[in-house]
């Protein structure tokens, strides 16, 4: 009996010990996994161990452009490239974190080129921080409104399209209305050129950045914007000294534009109109160079540009685009006046989402009052995949 009692007691103790052990918490094995973040749209995920959402993307583009094929163009000069063959790769990184003051966003995009076999290292495209209404870094100028419809844009058209370093604040008023004030680097807006006497009118060292303001509205029908800028005209020592120390000037530019959606035609179709006027700020009315902002003695160039375009989503996979622009510059004394017009059209096919192929043709005429006019006719084809 004693032996039997001892055995029963041992069995009961073992069972109780096992039950207690089963009730104890067990530390889980660490698991390394990626969580989907749907707060900011598709393709974001949480960086493991953080509350920051990241989206990684990229683009590969390859294109061939037949350079000016007209008489006296590239094909008439044995030492000029008759074609430009480009391969380009982009990398996009978009990181966002929710804070009590609004979303904290950091965006970086960069690309590397190979043109006619000459490869370059990666270059910065955009790099900026956004927090609430504050934006700081490198991105499209707040002055710019619309930068074209054509798939490639084989000829330069006449409007403002510049990426700059900047600090900006945007206030949103609701119902699609907003206002922006920004300080932007002047360096990409230094229009230079040659004076009639043979001297070149360049800018001196950086002093005052440009001050940009914009009012915008974006609603279901489309969008519109009014832009203005103050730009210091600051010739270099050679130009300034050669004109007996002419005074520096404060240039300016204003512009307005509208984009109207055309859902009654097809979803995705739209048209745009815009116009710019500048005094001592020619780079704000056109990316086309060749006319200096000033002659170095205090006399500034003035001019305007007008542009329009349309994009028609002909089918679910085929898009048709057409852009046109006109530029007229009354140059400062001793510089060449210039008029210019350009037109560019394209057709593109997107058989698979994110994969586009297309062809482009463009014509431009540039007329200087002293040296005469030049015609350009270019053709291009492009294949592009965005992911």
Average of pLDDT values for 376-386? 98
pLDDT score at 205: 93
Average pLDDT, the chain: 90
Q: What is the pLDDT of residue 201?
A: 83
Picking from 13-17, 142-146, 280-284, 309-313, which range would have the lowest pLDDT averaged per residue?
13-17
Closest to 243 measured CA to CA, from 288, 319, 192, 298: 298
14 pLDDT exceeds 60?
Answer: no
| Per-residue confidence (pLDDT) for residue 324, from 0 to 100 | 97
In the prediction, which pLDDT does 128 show? 98
pLDDT over threshold 50, residue 7: no
**In this structure, are residues 57 and 76 in contact, taking their beta carbons and an 8 Å threshold?**
no
Give the model's confidence band at 3: pLDDT under 50 very low, under 70 low, under 90 confident, else very high. very low
Average pLDDT over residues 222-229: 98
Q: Which domains does the chain have, with CATH numbers?
A: 133-386 (2.40.160.10)
Calpha distance 362→68 (Å, rounded): 10
Q: With 80 as the cut, is the pLDDT of residue 89 above it?
A: yes
Counting every residue written for the chain, the total comes to 387
Query: pLDDT tens-digit profile of 363-373?
Result: 999 998 877 88
DSSP string computed for 204-252: -S--SPEEEEEEEEEETTEEEEEEEEEEEE-B-HHHHHHTTSPPPEEEE
Give residue 246's pLDDT band: very low, low, confident or very high (50, 70, 90): low
Tokens of 17: 């010990």
CA–CA dist 40, 330 (Å, integer) = 48
148-174: pLDDT as tens digits: 999 999 999 999 999 999 999 999 999
| 97-122 per-position pLDDT tens digit | 999 888 999 999 999 999 998 988 89
CB–CB of 312/269 below 8 Å?
Answer: yes
* Cα gap 80→74, rounded to integer Å: 5
pLDDT for residue 384: 98
Of 256, 234, 259, whose CA–CA distance to 143 is shortest?
Answer: 256
């Amino acid at each position: 009996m004693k032996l039997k009692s001892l055995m029963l007691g041992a069995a009961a103790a073992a069972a109780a010990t096992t039950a207690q052990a089963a009730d104890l918490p067990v530390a889980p094995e660490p698991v390394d996994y990626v969580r989907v973040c749907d707060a900011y749209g598709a393709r974001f995920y949480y960086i493991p161990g953080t509350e920051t959402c990241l989206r990684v993307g990229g683009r590969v583009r390859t294109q061939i452009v037949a350079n000016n094929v007209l008489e006296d163009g590239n094909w008439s000069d044995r030492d000029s490239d008759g074609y430009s063959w480009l391969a380009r790769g982009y990398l996009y990184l978009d990181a966002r974190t929710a804070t009590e003051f609004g979303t904290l966003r950091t965006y970086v995009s960069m690309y590397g080129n190979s043109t006619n076999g000459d490869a370059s290292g990666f270059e910065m495209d955009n790099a900026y921080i956004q927090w609430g209404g504050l934006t700081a870094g490198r991105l499209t100028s707040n002055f710019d409104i619309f930068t074209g419809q054509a798939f490639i844009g084989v000829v330069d058209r006449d409007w403002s399209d510049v990426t700059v370093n900047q600090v900006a604040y945007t206030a949103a008023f609701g119902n699609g209305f907003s206002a922006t004030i920004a300080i932007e680097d002047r360096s990409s807006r230094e229009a230079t050129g040659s004076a009639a006497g043979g001297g070149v009118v360049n800018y001196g060292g950086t002093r005052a950045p440009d001050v940009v303001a914009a009012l915008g509205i974006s609603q279901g029908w489309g969008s519109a914007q009014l832009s203005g800028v103050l730009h210091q005209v600051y010739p270099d020592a050679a130009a300034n000294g050669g004109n007996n120390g002419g005074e520096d000037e404060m240039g300016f530019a204003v512009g307005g534009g509208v984009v109207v959606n055309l859902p009654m035609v097809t979803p995705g179709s739209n048209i745009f109109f815009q116009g710019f006027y500048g005094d001592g700020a020619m780079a704000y009315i056109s990316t086309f160079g060749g006319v200096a902002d000033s002659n170095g003695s205090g006399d500034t160039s003035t001019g305007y540009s007008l542009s329009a375009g349309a994009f028609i989503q002909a089918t679910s996979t085929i898009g048709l685009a057409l852009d046109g622009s006109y530029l007229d510059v009354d140059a400062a004394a001793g510089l060449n006046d210039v008029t210019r017009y350009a037109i560019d059209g394209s057709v593109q096919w997107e058989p698979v989402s994110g994969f586009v192929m297309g062809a482009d043709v463009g014509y431009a005429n540039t007329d200087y009052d002293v040296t005469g006019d030049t015609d350009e006719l270019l053709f291009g084809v492009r294949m592009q995949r965005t992911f």
